[in-house]
Amino acid sequence: MQPVSLLLEGEYWDSQIYSGELTLFGAEGSYHRINWSELIDEMALAHPAIQTALRVAFSDSDLFYTQKVRKILRDPDIEVVIKRQLNALASFALEASEQSWSKFWRTSDSPFDFLPVDTDIYYHHVFAGSDSGLFSALRSGASSKLLKQSARRHHDGRILQVKASNQSTAIAAAAGSDGLLEFAFKSTSETLLDELRTLAKRPCSSCEWAFQSVFAWDTVAAYLANFRREKDPRTNRAHRVFDQVIGEERMFGNGAATVDSYVWGSNEKIFKLNASGLEVVNYAPPPDRKPGDGQSIAKPTDSELFKSLGSKELNIDPTQIVATGTAPFGSIVELPDRLVVLRSDNEVNVFPGEPVHWRVFPRSEHYSNQLHIVYEDRIQIVSFVHDYFVEQKSKLTGFARGSNDFIVRHPVAKDA
More confident residue, 358 or 74: 358
**Inter-CA distances, 305 with 70, 222, 241, 413, Å:** 29, 16, 16, 13
Q: Tens of pLDDT along 231-255?
A: 877 777 888 899 999 999 999 987 5
CA–CA dist 396, 400 (Å, integer): 10
Rounded distance between C-alpha atoms, residue 211 and residue 408, angstroms: 14
Whether residues 225 and 269 fall in one domain: yes
pLDDT band at 413 (very low <50, low <70, confident <90, very high): very low
Is the residue at 408 inside a domain?
no
Of 282, 299, 323, the residue that ends a domain is 323
Same domain, 126 and 233: yes
Give the largest Cα separation in the chain, rounded. Answer: 68
Percentage, residues of the chain above pLDDT 90: 73
Rounded Cα–Cα distance for residues 68 and 405 (Å): 15
Q: What is the pLDDT of residue 289?
A: 75
pLDDT of amino acid 195: 86
Specify whether 312 is located in the same domain as 360: no
Which range marks the domain in which residue 99 is found? Answer: 1-27+30-107+356-384
> What does pLDDT average to over the chain?
89
**Residues 167, 248 within the same domain:** yes
Average pLDDT of the residues in 166-173? 92
pLDDT at 284 over 90: yes
Residues 181 and 268 in one domain: yes
pLDDT value of position 293: 58
Residue 414 lies in a domain: no
Count of domains for the chain: 2
Is 228 within 8 Å of 286 (Cβ atoms)? Answer: yes
Task: Confirm whether 336 is domain-assigned.
Answer: no
Final residue in a domain of this structure, among 323, 340, 366: 323
Regarding whether 196 and 63 lie in a shared domain, the answer is: no
Do 187 and 132 lie in a common domain?
yes
Label the pairing between strands 94-96 and 4-9.
Answer: parallel
Most confident by average pLDDT, 145-154, 158-167, 184-193: 158-167
115 and 56 part of one domain: no
In a domain, 351, yes or no: no
State which of 60-64, 154-158, 189-193, 233-237 shows the largest mean pLDDT.
Answer: 154-158
The answer on pLDDT for 405 being more than 50 is: no
Percent of the chain whose predicted confidence (pLDDT) is above 70: 90
Considering the domain architecture, whether residues 2 and 69 belong to the same structural domain is answered as yes
The answer as to whether 330 is a domain residue is no
Domain membership flag for residue 147: yes
CATH code at position 166: 2.120.10
261 and 319 housed in the same domain: yes
Please tell me whether residues 227 and 275 are part of one structural domain.
yes
Neighbours of 41 (CB within 10 A): 15
Question: Would 176 be classed as within a structural domain?
Answer: yes
Same domain flag for 267 and 305? yes
pLDDT greater than 70 at residue 415: no
Question: Could you tell me if residue 343 is inside a domain?
Answer: no
- pLDDT range class, residue 212, cuts 50, 70, 90: very high
Residue 12 CA to residue 25 CA, distance in Å, equals 6
In DSSP terms, 308 is beta-bridged to: 281
**pLDDT for 89-117, tens place per residue?**
999 889 999 899 999 999 999 999 999 99
* Strands laid side by side in the 170-174 sheet: 161-164, 170-174, 180-185, 193-200
**What pLDDT does residue 149 have?**
52
**Cα(324)–Cα(335) distance, integer angstroms:** 9
